[in-house]
């Protein structure tokens, strides 16, 4: 479904991604791991056709994708109806006057006959029905995240790209999100730097190192058992632990609240 071949990208001379090659098959649930600033969001934006990589090729279902090629209205329509990106900051995605219009935005563009049904179904699944007439700007952070997700899913995408979807969620909402994503039968790529959450989001891990290269592509359990890679990815740390009189240090993470 997705193929990246030797993709590199720089921002103002600073590397964001270096020589990344990978393939993702339809239906896979993939977790994209990496410390802050390793290029996770850049990679998702390339996969969503928003950024043209400086080097390398990205193909979706065999078709090369980048912002220039997406100027073709037919390709843009086909691609955007199938690929959806949830931004880390959901505010950036919400601009319609009501929650209803926000969910209806995509289906209306596609000219679908069942816009109202889709809006009500996704609002119900996201527990947003009481908010349908409210201004999206006035919702809480968690509600905005759910609204942005509902707006994307109402279109019926085949590939869902999620950029740190649990970052702004409280523990209860995070639990809800894990269950919700597990029920989806489409391809999902989720970024996170939360090691405890990662195994719940997918079975395959793609890990970006601090040198912006892909340092692991395989089962998530293998990565979590590989201390050398965990250190290279800067996803674990060590410090002194005191247990009464006993003091020791070991590698660990504090990310599961």
Partner 1 sequence: MKREHALLVLYLAAVIVTTVVHDPLSLGAGLVGLLLLAGRKAARLLARCLRVILVFNLAVSLGYLVLAHVHGFSPWETLLLINLRVLVLTLMSFLFIARVNLFRALDFSPTLTWLLGLAYSQALGFQRVHADFRLALSSRSIVRPGLRDRYRSSAAAAAWFMDKALATARESAHALRARGFFGD
User: Is residue 76 close enough to count as binding partner 1 by CB under 8 A?
Assistant: yes
* Beta carbon nearer to partner 1, 151 or 207: 151
Tokens 């964001």 — which residue?
16
Of 160, 136, 24, the C-alpha closest to 86 is 160
Question: Which residues in the 82-111 window bind partner 1 by CB under 8 A?
Answer: 84-85, 87-89, 91-97, 105-106, 109-110
Binding of partner 1 by 156 (CB under 8 A)? no
CB of 84 or CB of 198, closer to partner 1 = 84
CB of 110 to partner 1, least distance (A): 6
Question: Rounded to an integer, what distance in angstroms lies between the CA atom of residue 10 and that of residue 22?
Answer: 19
Residue closer to partner 1, measured from CB, 95 or 251 = 95
**Tokens 């409210």, located at residue:** 134
Three-class HEC string of 221-253: HHHHCCHHHHHHCCCCEEEEEEECCEEEEEEEC
Nearer residue to partner 1 within complex by CB, 3 or 80: 80
12 binds partner 1 (CB under 8 A): no
CB burial of 160-195 (b: ≥16 within 10 Å; e: otherwise) equals: bbbbbbbebbeeebbebbeebbeeeebbbbbbbbbb
Residue ranges that bind partner 1, judged by CB under 8 A: 45, 48, 50, 67, 73, 76-77, 80-81, 84-85, 87-89, 91-97, 105-106, 109-110, 137, 151-152, 155
């Amino acid at each position: 479904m997705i193929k990246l071949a030797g993709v590199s990208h720089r921002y103002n001379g600073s590397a964001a991604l270096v020589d990344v090659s990978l393939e993702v098959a339809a239906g896979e649930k993939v977790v994209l791991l990496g410390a802050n600033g390793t290029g996770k969001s850049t990679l998702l934006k390339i996969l969503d056709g928003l950024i043209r990589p400086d080097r390398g090729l990205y193909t979706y279902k065999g078709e090369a994708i980048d912002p220039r090629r997406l100027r073709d209205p037919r390709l843009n329509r086909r691609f955007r109806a199938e690929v959806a990106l949830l931004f880390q900051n959901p505010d950036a995605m919400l601009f319609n006057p009501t929650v209803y219009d926000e969910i209806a935005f995509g289906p209306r563009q596609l000219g679908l006959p069942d816009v109202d049904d889709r809006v009500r179904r996704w609002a119900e699944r996201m527990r947003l029905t009481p908010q349908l007439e409210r201004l999206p700007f006035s919702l809480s952070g968690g509600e905005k995240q759910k609204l942005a997700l509902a707006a994307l899913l109402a279109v019926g995408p085949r590939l869902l790209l999620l950029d740190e979807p649990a970052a702004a969620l409280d523990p209860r909402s995070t639990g809800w999100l894990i269950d919700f994503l597990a029920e989806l039968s489409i391809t999902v790529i989720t970024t996170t730097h939360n090691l405890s959450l990662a195994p719940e989001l997918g079975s395959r891990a793609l890990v970006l190192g601090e040198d912006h290269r892909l340092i692991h592509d395989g089962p998530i359990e293998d990565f979590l058992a590989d201390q050398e890679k965990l250190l290279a990815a800067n996803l674990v740390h060590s410090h002194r632990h005191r247990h009464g009189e006993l003091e020791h240090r070991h590698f660990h993470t504090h990310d599961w609240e």
